[in-house]
Structure 1
């Protein structure tokens, strides 16, 4: 499986360094990219990634009550399993299609450089979402689609897309407060978000448990108990891990050159703010790792569009391309060899 993902990474890399303006070729390449990413995710080796057996098990569960998995998963499963009498692989195919299609179409709509954005996608979120957390992957795809209506202040489209995201993963509800995020040039305050988050982390300040919502508090208590018991997937986290520090470094680089980069994308300041909130969330909510990672990764989906814009920070454009490609390569290697999202 490692070889397969490396080959796909190399193919996308070739598309980045050998671009074409011929429309028919671009359409063919887009379709090829779409199909290859869907097929690889749908027919992935279950022994090489996490969560695969969980979904296979969920396929055979008799009722919704046996799990906290979203009702949408059960609904799709029941249609495929009981209505159409299909194999459990069918649900992996459906989620692969939804996860890949939503992200690629969102990238095509709001990214300046499609294949550079796909390279960033492949280096992290494709591995994390489409190959592992496929429910979160579909939700993240709809969140990315909601960026354009969020920028355009189209509340109907924003709420529609966010609602679909929530149906596929309840954690997507955290997208709703982003409606109040501004899109102007006043972004100096973003410099302080990460340091403030780290102060919260070091001092152990836990404001999230003060939210007076009974159902929310019950879920938090459950997560905290699982964390204290050291249950896999809920263990305490080290905020100062290599991947987070890399993202922080990139964020501050982008902040330094923000005025230069902003000239090339109307979505830039919105994306920058959401990324800042994502980086703030991980240390701030680290006392409850399951929530911290979920908020951090959901909002961090904007990196697919934000990171390729780094090329505009450089006067010599080829240097910018080199930097972004290196970021993708580093993230790709970190996910495979450090985070071990794909097992050997």
Structure 2
């Protein structure tokens, strides 16, 4: 685990250096190579993905998102190697995130550190379909905030759903007021959060509604998540875990930030999307795997959100240290507590 920790420390130190645009490019290229050319022994999902790749490449009707199926077919039958899927997915995901950070973050390497500590480890190094889907979604949200082009946003969300179907939930963005995080929104949010907690303890399962969606792939995924939730390895979620409490702390700080500053539309949307992460986790908690996937997708907005929080304070360097501290907690949970990755090795 020394390599992962060394990278974290290096990015943390470099986040205080000048010439961040050049450092940003160099670090993102390094992370791209690290992600694209990792061996099958690094993460838990790699061998499962190898099976999925060959199944998707050789079975037209295999129940998985179409983009994964097409890329798998090209990799196996035209390029001659399953590992091209991992290279292509890493290239798309990290390139998009590089451009998002470059154009939208006030502190470039602080955004990279937030990305590396959580999204990179959880998605790009593990859940590769969610990694690409999340990158497309975040790009689409920022573009929508800029130009309010609904058709473009809808098309990009549908594109993201061809990598991970849960991104269709991001159509909720169209219902958001992009001008302000109002007191009304904050009140309704905490009221809904309280109601969701009550429903959790009362045993209310909102996911039974999925039974009535007449889409074969949705029914397949629903059955899959049900079987996982009823298996011998099933562990109920802890809605007050350290990660959950950290998400809620960031939501509260973001709401404070939104009331003290006049925000641009992209910041308003990023705050509202991030606020859905802990809420979705509680509402969907009857299916822990599904709850985690959806919560993590909404949380991708932290790449842009967290680096803006230091603007709340006069002592910005101290505030950046606080964000680095939050990043370290996420990094520690992912690497040392959950142990989502093994020691790094390349192909």
TM-score calculated relative to the size of structure 1: 0.89
Instruction: Tell me the residue number matched to 1:213.
Output: 213
Cα separation, 1, equivalents of 2:241 and 2:61:
35
Instruction: Tell me the residue number matched to 2:195.
Output: 196
Query: Do the aligned residues in 1 keep the contact of 2:181 with 2:255 (CA within 8 Å)?
Result: no
Query: Do the aligned residues in 1 keep the contact of 2:114 with 2:303 (CA within 8 Å)?
Result: yes
Instruction: Tell me the residue number matched to 1:259.
Output: 259
Cα separation, 1, equivalents of 2:62 and 2:7:
35
TM-score calculated relative to the size of structure 2: 0.88
Instruction: Tell me the residue number matched to 2:72.
Output: 77
Instruction: Tell me the residue number matched to 2:32.
Output: 38
Structure 2 unmatched runs, 5+: none
How do 1:169-318 and structure 2 match up within 5 A?
A: 169-183=164-178, 184-186=180-182, 187-189=185-187, 190-210=189-209, 212-215=212-215, 216=218, 219-230=221-232, 235-260=235-260, 262-263=261-262, 265-318=264-317
Cα separation, 1, equivalents of 2:200 and 2:114:
28
CA-CA distance at 1:214 after TM superposition: 2.9
CA-CA distance at 1:222 after TM superposition: 4.1
Structure 1 unmatched runs, 5+: 21-25
How do 1:46-85 and structure 2 match up within 5 A?
A: 46-61=40-55, 63-64=58-59, 67-85=62-80
The one of 162, 170, 178 equivalent to 1:167 is: 162
Specify the SS of the correspondent of 1:214: coil
Instruction: Tell me the residue number matched to 2:135.
Output: 141
Query: Do the aligned residues in 1 keep the contact of 2:134 with 2:297 (CA within 8 Å)?
Result: yes
Instruction: Tell me the residue number matched to 2:85.
Output: 91
CA-CA distance at 1:256 after TM superposition: 3.0
Specify the SS of the correspondent of 1:48: coil
Tell me the C-alpha RMSD between the 2 structures: 2.2
Q: How many residues align?
A: 334
Q: Which has the higher contact order (CA 8 A, sep 6+)?
A: 2
1:232-290, CA deviations, whole angstroms, 9 ceiling, x for partnerless residues?
A: xx643222222111111222233234323x44654222222112222111011101223
Specify the SS of the correspondent of 1:340: coil
CA-CA distance at 1:208 after TM superposition: 3.2
Cα separation, 2, equivalents of 1:193 and 1:239:
15
Cα separation, 2, equivalents of 1:229 and 1:269:
40
